[in-house]
Amino acid sequence: FCSGVMEKLGLGPEVLLQENPRLIYARLTGFGQTGKYAKSAGHDINYLALSGVLSKLGRKDENPYAPVNLLADFAGGGVMCAMGIIIALYERTKSGKGQIVDASMVEGAAYLSSFLWKSQNLGLWNRPRGENLLDSGAPFYETYKTSDGKYMAVGAIEPQFYEQLIKGLGLDSNKLPSQLSFSDWPKMKKMFASVFAQKTQTEWCSIFDGTDACVTPVLSFDDAASHQHNKQRGSFIKNDQEEISPRPAPLLSRTPAVPSFKRDPFIGEHTEEILLEYGFTKQEIAKLHSDKVIEFSKPKANL
């Protein structure tokens, strides 16, 4: 994710926009096109760190942790870049001109977290990491282990939802501290944990399904694909190799995405085919391959 790669190939935006002023040229990098780190290598965890967001992620008295590589790479990077392209396409319908989209994963992750920045004065994030309402501090916004080693996710923030949670757990709210009594949160978490540990995930689902307690099972990939709700919506699909993946989202009413049921291509599987389509000769393709500019990868037959 370093900048300047396209310029080395003679394909920078200045060159291509001269050729076609309507072109939208998206540049997706970790640190952006300018600034001290612009030419430095990095990965999701580094961009998240520089954005300020990583400092908010993690439990009390533990190191900050990155939620795999979803936040900066895909949300702050891919989705924000795609949104930038869509905005530029929309603007082009008015001006007739293209433009350059500078998508930085640091800035994308930071902008995605605008809520965290803007809610600091509301008292939501004024305590240390892991002691706040939404970062595992609250007993009613947490995950709990069940007797079969699985987990339930609890998000009962509003008082009416919290009351449903307490009822489902078989506790008496009159004998408990106030929901927002911060000093009692650690004690309440231990109490909730001991109750959740007494039943299986399936048993808790039978208690909380159909209620507004905001309690749901933490599902594995396999369990998510086979869960009744997701099956009813067709949220997951199988390809011709029986591999499961999410259906494209969001769902459009008039022009929904039509997913391919073929397996994902191997890198280089269609290189030759595509270059031939674009008018390259077999000799030119062979030269590009021998110069290691392109690579081929033919799938092996399953014998």
| Residue pair 85/54 in contact by the 8 Å Cβ criterion | no
3-state secondary structure 75-139: HHHHHHHHHHHHHHHHHHHHHCCCCEEEEEHHHHHHHHCHHHHHCHHHCCCCCCCCCCCCCCCCC
Catalytically active residues, by annotation: 43, 73
